[in-house]
Chain A
């Protein structure tokens, strides 16, 4: 058994995800369910294991309970190892006091000891809020060939979107000459994906310098990368051509789910050569009733579908009753949708109970705004929820009015 690792990944999973509320109201963004089966964090973790990276520190901070439970000892990703493996790294109290992670760079700085115990040549920095399938080995190979100090993975974005990202300008060899965080007038379309490879000694050097700078926000994009660039370090861009989506907003989260649909989806989840691993629930195969009609959709296990579903992502253990219609929507696990209810262009959080003859949202074809119901929301029979509404369980009146949420299947024993 080796005494060191060539590369260690550090996964930033502490973000609050305030733009994903109500989905992140009581859970960290990386633990938000995605694609019928997964949590967002399954994507970077599966990319790691598929790229032969077996040692990952997951930096948690905001609402970590559900995320920690989900990660466990990393068994789903084959990361329950004696040397290396998955380690959850929460903020801690040291000799000089307890610090919350102040920024992305500070979070790594506070865990340099974790990195040092594996004595890696390289450190891969990842975010817990991106949906993509990427072979980090190719990026590492470029990093090594370029004799780089830091390699930043970039995608080519449309010019009109460039001001939402950190934008790189490179020379003909791919070496970064300029970096601008969310520039008003971008002069390049190479956008940072928030995926960095550092040579370990340089990472330690610049995180230590950053820590000594009282003016710094301790952020990779804002502080560390510009500091390294100014100091003339060898910084390279790695152009990634595959699917990548930042699911930091409700609209982009919905859109990424929709990208998994269709016969030739942009986000292909059925690739046996690049499996996305996840922690399983003990669910049985789903039942499609005689009245069911499900097209252009993906569905999880354990559910019973009696209604109609089109262009939607339905997670595990969802019950959809007869004459209910779900179009262009994401329904998370353990949802119950009553008879005659119509759901259009919406996200329904897990354990939501929707009564009978409810109307949620308006058809996507009419250019409607996305409607979002948070986890655990109960909607009484006959309610109309206008398009564009974003409701969490706190917005609901006291009584839910739908009884115990028992489905017709359970009541009637069909």
Chain B
């Protein structure tokens, strides 16, 4: 495909501070064995995009450790392939919706050295198997300046374009949106995926550079929609938002629905690829009782698990009960402990007999490496 990809591993600080304290949103674990960036990378390679730049700013250790050479996605190539774009000239600055354009400007050298005609830019704030090829085709067919992806089919939240009060004409050209919706617009940066011709992007960044102050993508859109053809590509492809802690819990638990698993993992575009761990098979002991749950490999289940998502290498000991919860990689729930609406980050240890409960709107969260 005549397009390169840019994945922005940014951090929208208000979205889920607990989960992103030690990692960027791109590295947030999801669905038993994935990190959010897996969806962006998989969508790229499933659309035959084989030149991918990864813009990172802070706490990018976990992203780099996860993606490594990009070999899992066949992105370890001589021609194109994966390129890390860490902050070189802008060390210390945070990457937020306000500085996103700046982040692209800092990497103009990379945009200039590419050969591809188009660039697909995506954030890391959603899980979804999205057909980037269809997005590009739509962009080309409509001779658009920028085409933005939106989904009608959000498993766990109001679709973004509805929140934004997006108004399009019959053809899909964006005429206006409600810039007063600050909250929605902050989300927009991480949720959205856009396609633009590479030269148009370079020109746009240079033009913005001459304007005073910084400019977020939404502010940029606001400035150009009257003169430029900015289109919305709205599909029914399933998307899960992971904006905050309740959204994180409901997003993971949405995998208990057959349609969600089907649309996410068996999409016609191809599989969701993640880093391999060589985990052994999932192990269920004589006392295990697991119902309506998603369980990853390498997990050891000796207790009861209901309506939950259990990551690789997690362990639920004998007599423990885990309900409506997300247990991340290598965490342990002790004997007789009882969890309800809980999110255990990685490598958490819940001692025997603890009773911990939150609610769907207020999940009980336990940060990485904690012991309770």
Contacts and interface: CB of A to CB of B under 8 A. Distances in A.
A269 B280 contact: yes
Interface in A359-414: 409, 413-414
B281 A269 contact: yes
Contact of B258 (A263, A278, A295, A409): A409
B291 A275 contact: no
Interface stretch (B142-150, B195-203, B293-301, B347-355): B293-301
Contacts of A260: 281
A290 B296 contact: no
Interface residues of B, number: 42
A298 B282 contact: yes
A204 B276 CA distance: 40
Nearest to B290: A288
B258 A284 contact: no
A282 B45 CA distance: 14
Given A277-B278, A284-B31, A284-B32, A296 B284 contact: yes
A: contact size bracket: 35 or more
Contact of A282 (B271, B298, B305): B271
Interface string A169-202: 0000000000000000000000000000000000
Contact of B278 (A275, A293, A413, A414): A275
B281 A35 contact: yes
B281 A276 contact: no
B283 A298 contact: yes
Nearest to A284: B265
Given A282-B273, A288-B295, A298 B71 contact: no
A297 interface: yes
A328 interface: no
Contacts of A277: 278
Contacts of B264: 284
Nearest to A37: B281
A300 B281 contact: yes
Contacts of A263: 285-286, 302
A293 B289 contact: yes
Interface in A266-280: 269-270, 275-278, 280
Interface string B100-132: 000000000000000000000000000000000
A289 B291 contact: yes
Contacts of A413: 258-259
Contact of A285 (B33, B278, B291, B305): B33
Nearest to A285: B32
A259 interface: no
B265 A75 contact: no
A123 interface: no
Given A263-B286, A286-B282, A295-B286, A300 B297 contact: yes
Interface in B186-213: none
Interface string B264-275: 110000011110
A75 B64 CA distance: 19
Interface in B29-80: 31-33, 71
4 A-B pairs with the lowest CB-CB distances in the bound complex, closest first: A36-B281, A285-B32, A282-B271, A298-B281
14 contacts: A37-B281, A269-B280, A276-B278, A284-B31, A286-B296, A287-B256, A291-B291, A293-B289, A296-B286, A298-B281, A299-B281, A299-B284, A301-B297, A413-B258
Given A284-B31, A284-B33, A287-B255, 19 more contacts: A36-B281, A37-B281, A37-B297, A76-B276, A260-B281, A263-B302, A270-B298, A275-B278, A276-B278, A280-B278, A284-B264, A284-B272, A285-B31, A285-B296, A286-B296, A293-B289, A298-B281, A301-B33, A313-B281
Interface of A: 35-37, 75-76, 260, 263, 269-270, 275-278, 280, 282, 284-301, 313-314, 409, 413-414
Interface of B: 31-33, 71, 255-256, 258-259, 261, 264-265, 271-274, 276, 278-298, 300, 302, 305, 309-310
